[in-house]
Amino acid sequence: MDIKGKYMKISALTTIISILLIAVSLFGLAAAGFGVKDGLAIKKYKEDDAKAADVVGQLEEAIAALKENEQAYLDGIGAYSKGLSDYAAGQSAYNEGKAALAKGYMDYEAGKAALEEGKRQVAEGQAQIDANTQAYNEGKELLSKIEPLMPMLNKYVELRDNGVGMIPGMSTWYGFDSAQAWFVSVVRPLGAQLGLTIPDDVTDFPKYMQNMVAEGQAKLKEYEDGLAALEEGKAQVAAGEAALRDAETQLAQGEKDLAAGAQELAAGAAKLAAGKADLETFEGGMALVDEYTMTCFKNAPIYRHNGDMAVPGPEQRLGEDFDWYKYDENGQLVTLRNGEPYPDLDKCLIVCTHFRQSVADHVADVTHELYMRLGLYIALALAGILGLIAGILGLAGKGSAAVLGVITAALLIASNIFGLCTRYLGYTYPLKDGTYSGTLQLIALLIFAATAVVFSIVTLSARRDAKREAAAAAAA
C-alpha cells in the first residue's frame, strides 16, 4: 500500500457506497437537467405573459385618443340635445301642418259640397222664379185692375157706414137704397169694363178687395222674395267659389310647406343620426376603456406557497375602494349620454401605471427565483459530475475519491442551505399547465447530500485504514 494515501482499502462497504454514489450522481444530473429545462420553460411562458400583458400599451393609446376627442364629445352632447329639441319642435310643427292640411282638405271638400248644394239651390230658385214669372205678371195685372176701384172702395165704406141718403157731391149714388145695390149697379160693371170679373156672390166689397189685394201682393212678394233669395244664393255661390279658389291656393302652399318641412326633418334626422353615431363611437371607446381598466385593476396578485403575497396587483396597490369614474362637485357619479358611468381617463392611466409596475415586479420576482433555481440546478449538476467521478474513483480504490467525496458533500450541503434560503421547499412559480416544478430536484439534493456525506465518511475511513496498514507493514 502507498503510505502517502494514494490508495484506500477496498471493502464491500466502499464498493456499495461508491456504486450508490454513482447512481445518485446520475439521478442528480438527470434532476438538474429536468430542473434547468423546467426553469427555461417557466421563463419562456412568463416572458410571453409579460408581452401579452403589454396590451396595456394599447389601452393607453385608446385613452389618449379618447382624451383628444373628449371635449368634442361633450360639445356634441349639447349639439345633439339641441338637435333633438329642434327636431322634436320641427316634428311637432310638421304634424300640426299635416293635421291642418288634412283639415283643410276636409274643409275644402265640405265647401265644395256646400257650393254644389248652393248651385243646386240657385238652380231650383231660378226654376221657381221662372215658374212664378207668370203668377207675378198676373198679380201685377190684378193689382193694376184693382187700383182704379180703390176710390170706390172708400165710397162704398162711407155709404155703408153713413146710410144710403143723398151725400153732397155724390150724385152718382142717387136712387140706390144700399151700398150693395150701388156696388152691383155701378162698381161691378166698372170692374168688368177694366177686365176684373167680380163674382155675383160678393156681398162684402171691402173684404173682397182686401183679399184680392192681399193675393196680388202675396204673389208679388213671393216672386220678389224668390228674386232676393236667388241673388243671395248667387252671391253665396260666388263667395263659395272664391273661397274654394283661396282654399286651393292655401292647400297648394300647405303641401309645399309640408314637403319643405319633410325635407328639413329628413335632413335633421340624418344630422342627428350622424351625431348619434359619433357619440356612440366615443361611448363605445369609453366602454372598452372601462372594461380593460377593470381587467388591469383586477390583475391577480402573486402568492407564495405559504400564503404570503409575493407581488401585489393594482387593486392591492391602489386599494379596494379605488375606482376610475368621474364625480361632480356634489360627489354624484357623472354619466355618459347613454347613462353608463363616465370613466375618468386620468384615473384610468393611474391604473395602467400600477398595472405596469405590478407586471414589472412580477417579472423581477420570476427572474430572481429562476436565477436562484438555475444556480441551484447548476450546482446540483456540478455535484453530480464530481460525485460520478468520486464514485468511479471509489470503485478503483483511489484515495482521491475521499477528497472528491468531501468536496461533493460540501457542495451539496451548501446547495441545500442555499435552497432553503431561496424557497426550494416550495417555489412560487409553476409550469404553464400549473404543475409544480422542484420536487424532483429537492429529493435529489437531499438524497445526494446524504449519500455524499456517507460516501465521504466511508472513503475517509477506508483511506485511514489503508494508511495504518501501510505504516504497520513498513514498521515490520
Phi, psi of 299 (to 5 degrees): -55, 120
CA 315 – CA 292 distance, rounded (Å): 14
Specify the higher pLDDT residue, 49 or 461.
461
Question: Do 109 and 59 fall into the same domain?
Answer: no
Q: Residues of the chain with pLDDT > 70: what percent?
A: 84
- How do residues 307-344 score in pLDDT, each as one tens digit? 889 899 999 999 999 999 999 999 999 999 999 999 99
- How do residues 180-207 score in pLDDT, each as one tens digit? 666 666 777 866 776 667 776 666 667 7
Question: Do 99 and 185 fall into the same domain?
Answer: yes
Q: What is the pTM of this model?
A: 0.62
- Count Cβ neighbours within 10 Å for each residue of 365-377 and write b for 16 or more, e otherwise: bbeebbebbbebb
- How do residues 72-102 score in pLDDT, each as one tens digit? 888 888 888 888 888 888 888 888 888 888 8
Position 469 pLDDT exceeds 70? yes
Q: Please tell me the least confidently modeled range out of 42-56, 164-178, 287-301.
A: 164-178
- Of 317, 440, 302, the C-alpha closest to 366 is 302
Alpha carbon separation from 300 to 68, 178, 281, 346, 426 (Å, rounded):
31, 144, 31, 22, 20
Residue 292 inside a domain? The answer is no
- How do residues 38-47 score in pLDDT, each as one tens digit? 999 988 888 8
Angle between helices 439-475 and 345-396 (to 10 degrees): 30
Question: Do 234 and 125 fall into the same domain?
Answer: yes
Position 244 pLDDT exceeds 80? no
The residue out of 275, 295, 329 marking a domain boundary is 275
Specify the higher pLDDT residue, 212 or 438.
438
Alpha carbon separation from 43 to 36, 48, 368 (Å, rounded):
10, 9, 11
Position 223 pLDDT exceeds 60? yes
Q: Please tell me the least confidently modeled range out of 3-7, 54-58, 231-235.
A: 3-7
Q: Please tell me the least confidently modeled range out of 238-252, 397-411, 451-465.
A: 238-252
- Domain residues for the domain of 174 are 73-275
Question: Do 20 and 91 fall into the same domain?
Answer: no
At 424 the three-state DSSP class reads coil
Residue 1 inside a domain? The answer is no
Rounded mean pLDDT of 344-362? 93
Question: Do 204 and 228 fall into the same domain?
Answer: yes
Residue 355 inside a domain? The answer is yes
- How do residues 126-184 score in pLDDT, each as one tens digit? 777 776 676 677 666 666 767 676 676 666 666 666 665 444 444 454 456 666 666 66
Rounded mean pLDDT of 340-358? 94
Return the pLDDT at 63.
Answer: 92
- Max CA separation in the chain (angstroms): 229
Task: Return mean pLDDT, the chain.
Answer: 83
CA 117 – CA 264 distance, rounded (Å): 41
Residue 335 inside a domain? The answer is yes
Task: Work out how many domains the chain is built from and give that number.
Answer: 2
In terms of DSSP H, where are the helices of 147-184?
150-162, 179-182
Question: Do 312 and 261 fall into the same domain?
Answer: no
Specify the higher pLDDT residue, 184 or 473.
473
Q: And the C-alpha cell for 262?
A: 319633410
Alpha carbon separation from 206 to 34, 181, 190, 214 (Å, rounded):
154, 14, 16, 12
Position 22 pLDDT exceeds 80? yes
Residue 288 inside a domain? The answer is no
Specify the higher pLDDT residue, 287 or 170.
287
CB under 8 Å, gap of 24 or more: what pairs does 353-358 form? 354/314, 354/317, 354/318, 355/53, 355/56, 355/296, 355/297, 355/299, 355/314, 356/56, 357/317, 358/299, 358/301, 358/311, 358/312, 358/313, 358/314, 358/317
Alpha carbon separation from 167 to 156, 164, 176, 337 (Å, rounded):
12, 8, 12, 116
At 332, which helix (H) or strand (E)?
A: none
CB under 8 Å, gap of 24 or more: what pairs does 40-44 form? 41/431, 41/432, 42/366, 42/370, 42/429, 42/430, 42/431, 42/432, 42/437, 43/366, 43/367, 43/370
Residue 284 inside a domain? The answer is no
Residue 7 inside a domain? The answer is no
Residue 211 inside a domain? The answer is yes
Asked if residue 257 lies in contact with residue 97, where contact means CB atoms within 8 angstroms, the answer is: yes
Return the pLDDT at 312.
Answer: 95
Question: Do 179 and 308 fall into the same domain?
Answer: no
- How do residues 448-457 score in pLDDT, each as one tens digit? 999 999 999 9
Return the pLDDT at 177.
Answer: 61
The DSSP symbol for 149 reads G
Question: Do 157 and 57 fall into the same domain?
Answer: no
pLDDT grade for 286, boundaries at 50, 70 and 90 = very high
Return the pLDDT at 200.
Answer: 67
Question: What DSSP string runs through 8-29?
Answer: ----HHHHHHHHHHHHHHHHHH
The DSSP symbol for 301 reads P
- How do residues 385-415 score in pLDDT, each as one tens digit? 999 999 999 898 888 888 999 999 999 999 9
Return the pLDDT at 10.
Answer: 81
CA 253 – CA 394 distance, rounded (Å): 120
Question: Do 318 and 339 fall into the same domain?
Answer: yes
Asked if residue 31 lies in contact with residue 376, where contact means CB atoms within 8 angstroms, the answer is: no
Return the pLDDT at 319.
Answer: 92
Question: What DSSP string runs through 259-295?
Answer: HHHHHHHHHHHHHHHHHHHHHHHHHHHHHHHHHHHHH
Specify the higher pLDDT residue, 322 or 248.
322
Question: Do 105 and 92 fall into the same domain?
Answer: yes
Return the pLDDT at 4.
Answer: 43
CA 216 – CA 373 distance, rounded (Å): 142
Question: Do 62 and 99 fall into the same domain?
Answer: no
The DSSP symbol for 341 reads B
Q: How far is CA 260 from the centre of its chain?
A: 30
Specify the higher pLDDT residue, 219 or 283.
283
Rounded mean pLDDT of 239-251? 81
Question: Do 119 and 17 fall into the same domain?
Answer: no
Return the pLDDT at 253.
Answer: 86
